[in-house]
């Protein structure tokens, strides 16, 4: 199944109740979000957690990898020695990382607090499987993230990547490193870009990053490079002068997996009806919604067909129809051949209700898709598209698709939830 989850979490020891002794309640949003993310990973039946920590042994050029058969640690340095955990290491993944990652330095040791805090909450949620501990790379985090994603691709297990790190330590005068205006600026940029254009996170100005006094920037970049997703911020706060961010960066969805099965079956056998429908007791397939199925090959568009409103009796059949159409009926591309299927990435965008709006000021190209209409002509553009950064660009492209050159147009907006394999 390969990588099924990727998350970014903070690591303040005081979030652990045995350490915080009540102080953790001042970070209630982070505490609640941490427990939610741990619940999600546990329910996803993750078999191995790959944990990247900025408080493990670090090296200037490369990445460290703990090679103990079993890792253990406690919180005695924080006055809570009774809190101790032990996990088996995943020898198979360790061997693959040693073989395929560049500049790997094997190390021995226990669980540092940057790894211990997330493992504490996973254990609290009932998870107790295998782990792989890595030190945060100081250089080339995207290179390591991409390679890890490729190594895990198509492996039979279910893996989660947990990137540990705090954002700026300079949010308040009484914080650990005092106040610097770069601190809140850096944190706000990261939070905003996670919800808009994650690629820009990797190119923040070096001086801003340095002045912010962070310890999780590279962990975050590594995790974002491992697998593309639709980041969801569960919480952000900084009550003690340090930025705590909990974010679901990527999780595998059954919707695009179903789209792949439908297109594959059609190309192989010519009859998608040979497939049994997915579990219709699941609300995600039973609802009636419009959707778009998008196919990409080597990062380039290979087909995209969808419906703004539902035409089928449930979302499963809507996806089936649009997946086959995206692969065989998009007039911009030749039909997909069955031997291409494995080279395609598939996403499914599930549309919310269309809402008529008064003007462009009610649009946001990262949050809303747009429909333009004029005298029977109609054009649609999905939100969150690379290269479409302004409302003007969004409307212009939608009008081009509709064949509208000038005149008064009606504007409609809609929200989308994007699902990745």
The stretch 137-142 carries a mean pLDDT of: 97
Q: In whole angstroms, give the CA distance from residue 395 to residue 363.
A: 9
Judge if 356 and 231 occupy the same domain: no
pLDDT at 1: 63
What are 4-63's pLDDT values in tens digits?
999 999 999 999 999 999 999 999 999 999 999 999 999 999 999 999 999 999 999 999
Band the pLDDT of 93: cuts 50, 70, 90: very high
**Residues 3 and 160 sit within 8 Å (Cβ to Cβ):** yes
Judge if 327 and 364 occupy the same domain: no
The stretch 145-157 carries a mean pLDDT of: 93
Tokens of 338: 């069955």
What are 293-309's pLDDT values in tens digits?
999 999 899 999 999 88
For the ranges 53-62, 87-96, 177-186, 367-376, the lowest mean pLDDT is seen at 367-376
pLDDT at 281: 75
pLDDT at 371: 92
Band the pLDDT of 407: cuts 50, 70, 90: confident
Rounded alpha-carbon distances, angstroms, from residue 342 to 12, 98, 123, 304: 42, 27, 36, 17
Q: How far is CA 399 from the centre of its chain?
A: 31
The stretch 353-357 carries a mean pLDDT of: 92
Domain boundary among 322, 351, 380: 351
Judge if 264 and 232 occupy the same domain: no
Assign residue 10 the CATH number of its domain: 3.40.830.10
Match 């905003």 to its residue by tokens.
192
Find the farthest-apart pair of alpha carbons in the chain and give their distance in angstroms, rounded: 72
Tokens of 193: 């870009």
Judge if 344 and 361 occupy the same domain: no
Q: In whole angstroms, give the CA distance from residue 257 to residue 274.
A: 16
In which domain, by residue range, is 294 found?
253-351
Band the pLDDT of 154: cuts 50, 70, 90: confident
Percent of the chain with pLDDT over 70: 99
Tell me what the pLDDT averaged over the chain comes to.
94
pLDDT at 386: 81
**Residues 243 and 187 sit within 8 Å (Cβ to Cβ):** yes
Judge if 79 and 175 occupy the same domain: yes
Judge if 114 and 172 occupy the same domain: yes
Judge if 247 and 343 occupy the same domain: no
Assign residue 380 the CATH number of its domain: 3.30.1490.150
Beta-carbon neighbour count of residue 332 at 10 Å? 8
Judge if 203 and 237 occupy the same domain: yes
Tokens of 350: 């599930």
Judge if 180 and 126 occupy the same domain: yes
Which has the higher per-residue pLDDT, 209 or 384?
209
The stretch 362-367 carries a mean pLDDT of: 92
Band the pLDDT of 406: cuts 50, 70, 90: confident
Judge if 306 and 361 occupy the same domain: no
Match 């039909």 to its residue by tokens.
335
Percent of the chain with pLDDT over 90: 87
> Model pTM greater than 0.85?
yes
What are 248-267's pLDDT values in tens digits?
999 999 999 999 999 999 99
Tokens of 403: 């064949």
Judge if 148 and 9 occupy the same domain: yes
Judge if 407 and 306 occupy the same domain: no
Assign residue 321 the CATH number of its domain: 3.30.700.20
Q: How many domains does the chain have?
A: 3
**Residues 238 and 170 sit within 8 Å (Cβ to Cβ):** no
pLDDT at 108: 96
Match 């003690």 to its residue by tokens.
240
What are 309-340's pLDDT values in tens digits?
899 999 999 999 999 999 999 999 999 999 99
């Amino acid at each position: 199944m390969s990588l099924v989850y990727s998350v970014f979490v903070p690591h303040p020891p005081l979030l652990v109740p045995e350490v915080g002794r009540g102080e953790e309640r001042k970070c209630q949003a982070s505490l609640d979000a941490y427990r939610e993310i741990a619940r999600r990973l546990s329910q996803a039946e993750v078999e191995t957690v790959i944990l990247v920590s900025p408080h493990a042994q670090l090296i200037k050029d490369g990445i460290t990898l703990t090679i103990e058969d079993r890792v253990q640690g406690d919180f005695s340095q924080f006055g809570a020695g009774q809190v101790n955990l032990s996990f088996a290491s995943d020898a198979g993944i360790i061997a693959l990382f040693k073989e395929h990652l560049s500049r790997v330095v094997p190390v021995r040791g226990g669980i540092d607090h940057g790894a211990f805090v997330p493992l504490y909450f996973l254990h609290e949620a009932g998870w107790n499987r295998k782990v792989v501990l890595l030190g945060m790379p100081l250089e080339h985090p995207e290179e390591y993230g991409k390679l890890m994603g490729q190594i895990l691709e198509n492996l039979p297990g279910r893996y989660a990547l947990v990137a540990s790190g705090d954002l700026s330590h300079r949010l308040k005068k009484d914080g650990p490193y005092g106040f610097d205006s770069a601190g809140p600026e850096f944190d706000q940029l990261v939070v905003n870009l996670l919800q808009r254009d994650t690629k820009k996170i990797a190119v923040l100005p070096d001086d801003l990053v340095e002045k912010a006094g962070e310890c999780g920037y590279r962990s975050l970049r590594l995790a974002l490079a491992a697998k593309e997703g639709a980041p969801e911020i569960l919480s952000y706060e900084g009550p003690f002068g340090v930025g705590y961010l909990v974010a679901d960066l990527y999780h595998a969805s059954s919707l695009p997996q179903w789209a792949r099965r439908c297109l594959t079956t059609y190309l192989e056998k010519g009859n998608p009806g040979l497939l049994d429908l997915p579990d219709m007791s699941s609300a995600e397939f039973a609802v009636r919604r419009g959707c778009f199925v998008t196919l990409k090959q080597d990062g380039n568009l290979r087909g995209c067909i969808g419906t703004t409103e539902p035409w089928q009796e449930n979302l499963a059949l809507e996806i089936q129809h649009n997946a086959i159409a995206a692969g065989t009926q998009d007039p911009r591309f030749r039909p997909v051949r069955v031997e291409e299927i494995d080279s395609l990435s598939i996403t499914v965008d599930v549309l919310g209700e269309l809402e008529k709006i008064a003007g462009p000021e009610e649009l946001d190209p990262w949050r809303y898709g747009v429909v333009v209409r004029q005298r029977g002509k109609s054009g649609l553009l999905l939100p969150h598209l690379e290269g479409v950064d302004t409302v003007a660009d969004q409307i212009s492209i939608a009008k081009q698709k509709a064949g509208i050159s000038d005149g008064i147009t009606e504007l409609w907006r809609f929200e989308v939830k994007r699902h990745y394999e």
